[in-house]
Amino acid sequence: LFEEVEDTEENLQPRSPVVVVMGHVDHGKTSLLDRIRHANVTSGEAGGITQHIGAYRVKAGGRDITFLDTPGHEAFTAMRARGALATDIAILVVAADDGIMPQTVEAINHAKAANLSIIVAINKMDKPTANPDKVKQELTEHGLVCEEWGGDVICVPVSAKTGEGIDELLEMVNLTADVLELKANPDRLAKGVVIEARIDKGRGPIATVLVQSGTLHTGDTIIAGTAVGRVRVMRDDKGKAVKEAGPSVPVEIMGLAEVPSAGDDFAAVEDEKLARELVEKRKFDAKEEQFKLYKKVSLDNLFSQIEEGSMKKLPIIVKADVQGSVEAVSQSLSKLSNEEVKVEVIHGAVGAVTESDVMLAKASGAIIVGFNVRPNPAAADNAKRDGVDIRLYRVIYDAIEEIETAMKGMLAPKYREVDTGRVEVRQVMKLSSVGVVAGSYVLDGKVQRNGEVRVVRDGIIVAVDKIAGLRRFKDDVKEVAAGYECGITLEKFTDIKDGDIFEAFVTEEYRD
Ligand code: GDP
């Protein structure tokens, strides 16, 4: 929708990383975010630290880091499900006295599905029962091997309570950012994503946006989702009024006519009239989209949605009643992969299908496979709304068979003949150079060079053959329409007679 300006290497400049904190409930996400914020905001700053705009910036080692102030992977994946990828790095918080818990696994899988770099913060190190080695051990079972054990995952022992390890954690964020070589062009119209939005009784719609590229200025006309407006006032995370915000900077803006949703994209545009037109189109598209989602997404559609190079990918989320089933199902489904289709279990866990599963499925284009479990009511509603496919089984074999069948159906395409027109043979000529040429007249439709013909004589099909040559006068042509004469040669069939009718057709691949 928005005009895409290609950024060249010269106009790209380093930008600071955007970080999200994830982990199991009560493992200390909020405490960690608070600690980082308090420790790294100078007390003299205007507005102090009471401002909550959904994201904030801290300084560490003289560099800025942007934190999304919405702990948990649900909020993150909800944004991603709307198409927004606002984050570079995930800090996975694991309590040292508790270890990997179900939501830790969820967080890992949500972060992996979004291709985030993961840094592990082993929290609550101040507790006497803290056991960081147990945490590291458990992490390896989920594919995260920490550096000191020869892997590539940075694990930092911290305490949100005492502040131990926090500086080192931030240092590691900077280090990871360096590896990622994060860059953006600050000299263009701003683009980014809506992090939070609400309506304020006195001030109207207020949105926190994260600028991802370009620079946003007060006075700019912007579109956010389907909301249009002119940025009247812009405040940073310390509550200070600012005139501009560059890449990786979150700001709260006022001036939109409506409240956008978290995860909507936003962009500054040159002129307001164009903005309004774009928004009308968006609103129309949104309705269309809604309509399409009423039709349940079939497996075939899903396969065709996600293509990685020549490889088709089918991401699957497995939920089951017991851990043994989760593993058995995950393994069996993964084994269905072949050279052309990769079945990838992106998340597996015990329990009912939840809203979080549905969000992850939407964000990743996955289907949800459930064994002896049911979606909870909200998850079922969301799945219907978002067109997420939930398939419930009682027998593992049924699931495997169904998915295998769908894969085969996709891999062995079906063909059908589509008639294009009818041709009458008026004079058969034998030419030494090209063989038998049927001097013909196209009665209706057309005949195509890349097509085939059924040779019909006295109501009987005497041959079916591919067209080898199609000419008008001396020229090779791609097709000849009704009312014109042409010369046709066939690949194999030479026993053509005057008065034969060629039914011209092409072969099309199709899916049912
Ligand atoms: P969240 O649910 O992940 O956001 O966890 P919270 O930040 O709300 O923390 C849950 C509980 O753990 C609270 O009672 C915190 O005070 C406590 N807590 C968080 N971090 C630490 C820590 O480093 N050490 C200790 N001893 N307690 C902590």
Buried b (16+ CB within 10 A) or exposed e, 32-59: bbebbbeebbeeeeeeebebebbbbbbe
Q: What is the pLDDT of residues 346-357, one digit of tens each?
A: 999 998 999 989
Taking Cα atoms as reference points, which of 342, 277, 284, 273 lies closest to residue 313?
Answer: 342
Complex ipTM > 0.95: yes
Instruction: Give the model's pLDDT for residue 293.
Output: 42
Residue type, 362: K
pLDDT digits (tens, 9 = 90+) for 357-393: 999 998 888 889 998 888 988 999 989 888 888 888 8
pLDDT score, position 442:
96
Nearest to 367 by CA among 313, 409, 405: 313
**Phi and psi torsions of 122, nearest 5°:** -85, 105
> Known binder of ligand: residue 200?
no
Least confidently predicted of 40-49, 164-173, 258-267: 40-49
Ligand 1 mean position, distance from CA 86 (Å): 26
* pLDDT for res 302: 45
CA-closest residue to ligand 1 atom 22? 124
Per residue in 102-148, pLDDT (tens digit) is: 999 999 999 998 889 999 999 999 999 999 999 999 999 999 999 99
Instruction: Confirm or deny that 123 is annotated as ligand binding.
Output: yes
Nearby residues of 74 by Cβ (< 8 Å), 6 or more positions away: 355, 356, 359
Whole-number Å distance between alpha carbons of 405 and 34 = 51
Residue 24 annotated as part of some ligand binding site: yes
- Cα 428 off chain centre by: 58
Cβ atoms 212, 266 nearer than 8 A: no
Q: Whose CA is closest to atom 14 on ligand 1?
A: 26
pLDDT interval class at 294 (50, 70, 90): very low
Q: Which residue has the higher pLDDT, 162 or 281?
A: 162
Q: What percent of the chain has pLDDT over 90?
A: 52
The type of residue at 359 is M
Q: Whose CA is nearest to atom 18 of ligand 1?
A: 28
Q: Is 309 helix (H, G, I), strand (E, B) or coil?
A: coil
Residue 136 CA to residue 254 CA, distance in Å, equals: 45
Q: Which of 19, 118, 10, 8 is nearest to 63 (CA)?
A: 19
Q: Is pLDDT at 451 greater than 70 in this prediction? A: yes
